């Protein structure tokens, strides 16, 4: 179990994190969201032991995570941290980058594990390609596989799929998070992407103004957003009295209603149209199955 106990931290007198307190069980996936500069990456670095703590404590099981004042080499064998910088060896192949972290004394096991991890990150076709020839997204996948090579008990991922194009993201997420679950590896993911969270995270932690403002399941937080900031992470939303925060997909256009608006414009989203309409001098957004022309009067209801 990871325990972050009452952690307060800042690079100067200004505190980036204040009284941060939470737990993560073995095999659990915790997603961390917040605006840029909210402290997500800093929190991962503290958990990894990159900085010294003056206030609070961090434990993995019974071992306290300590910073560079206490450790000549930053990090712990049971923990791996994948940053956006990758830190790969560019002049050797994908297979060699991953295999370098596996024992030479068991060559058959090494080859088997290397192939397994290359498959997890969907790089079979590039196994013998030198890393310097890969795209940014491919390098990111190598970094994830290399982090998994030594079978860590806990994995820290900072925007893990940010460089990967949309053609690969969804299948890669499924593959990586399935591997982590199957191997009981705890995972903390700092992300701006709701697709890294919905369907994969067991718990979602929201940081704002240096503090944790929400921690619950993604389903609960999605269905009960406490603030517009939280709602904005999941998609288009409206604030409509007396209903409060309402997602665009919770508004239905109907033949007749007490609620009337005028269409301003429409945006094609693939499976639907996002209708922007004026209601009581404010813009509202509605997901609808068909295009509606600008200037059209519409009636709508709000569903829970």
Rounded to an integer, the average pLDDT of 14-25 is 96
Rounded to an integer, the average pLDDT of 245-269 is 97
236-302: same fold as 2-223?
no
Whether residue 288 is predicted with pLDDT greater than 90 in this model: the reply is: yes
107-140: per-residue pLDDT in tens?
Answer: 788 888 899 999 999 999 999 999 999 998 899 9
Rounded to an integer, the average pLDDT of 16-32 is 97
Residue with tokens 């940081």: 207
b/e burial code for range 117-135 (CB count within 10 A of at least 16 → b): bbebbbbeebeeeebeebe
The CATH number that domain 2-223 falls under is 3.40.50.300
Q: Which conformational region is residue 274 in: left (phi greater than 0), alpha (psi within -120 to 50 degrees), or beta?
A: beta
The CATH number that domain 236-302 falls under is 2.40.50.140
- The per-residue pLDDT for 111 is 87
Closest CA to 279 of 220, 249, 247, 239: 239
d(C-alpha 194, C-alpha 55), whole Å: 31
What ranges do the domains of the chain cover?
2-223, 236-302
- The per-residue pLDDT for 96 is 92
d(C-alpha 210, C-alpha 199), whole Å: 27
Rounded to an integer, the average pLDDT of 94-118 is 85
pLDDT band at 246; cut points 50, 70, 90: very high
Residue 72 has φ and ψ, to the nearest 5°, of: -65, -35
């Amino acid at each position: 179990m990871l325990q972050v106990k009452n952690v307060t931290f800042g690079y100067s007198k200004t505190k980036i994190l204040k009284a941060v307190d939470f737990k993560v069980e073995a095999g659990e996936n915790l997603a961390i969201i917040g605006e840029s500069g909210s402290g997500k990456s800093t929190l991962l670095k503290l958990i990894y032991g990159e900085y010294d703590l003056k206030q609070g404590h961090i434990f993995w099981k019974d071992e306290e995570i300590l910073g560079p004042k206490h450790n000549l080499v930053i990090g712990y064998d049971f923990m791996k941290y994948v940053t956006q910088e990758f830190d790969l060896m560019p002049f050797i192949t994908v297979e060699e980058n991953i295999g370098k972290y596996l024992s030479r004394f068991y060559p058959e096991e090494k080859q088997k594990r290397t192939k397994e991890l290359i498959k997890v990150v969907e790089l079979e076709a590039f196994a013998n390609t030198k890393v310097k020839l890969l795209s940014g997204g491919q390098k990111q996948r190598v970094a994830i596989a290399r982090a998994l090579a030594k079978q860590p008990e806990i994995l820290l991922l900072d925007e893990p799929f940010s460089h990967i194009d949309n053609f690969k993201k969804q299948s890669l997420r499924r593959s990586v998070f399935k591997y982590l679950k199957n191997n009981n590896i705890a995972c903390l993911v700092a992300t701006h992407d709701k697709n890294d969270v919905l369907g994969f995270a067991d718990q979602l932690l929201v940081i704002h103004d240096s503090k944790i403002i929400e921690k619950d399941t993604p389903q609960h937080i999605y269905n009960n957003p406490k603030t517009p900031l939280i709602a904005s992470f999941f998609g288009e939303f409206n604030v409509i009295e007396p209903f409060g925060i309402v997602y665009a997909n919770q508004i239905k256009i109907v033949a007749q209603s007490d609620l009337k608006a005028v269409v301003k414009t429409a945006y094609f989203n693939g499976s639907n149209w996002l209708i922007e309409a004026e209601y009581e001098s404010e813009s509202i957004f509605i997901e609808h199955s068909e295009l509606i022309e600008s200037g059209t009067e519409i009636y709508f209801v709000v569903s829970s």
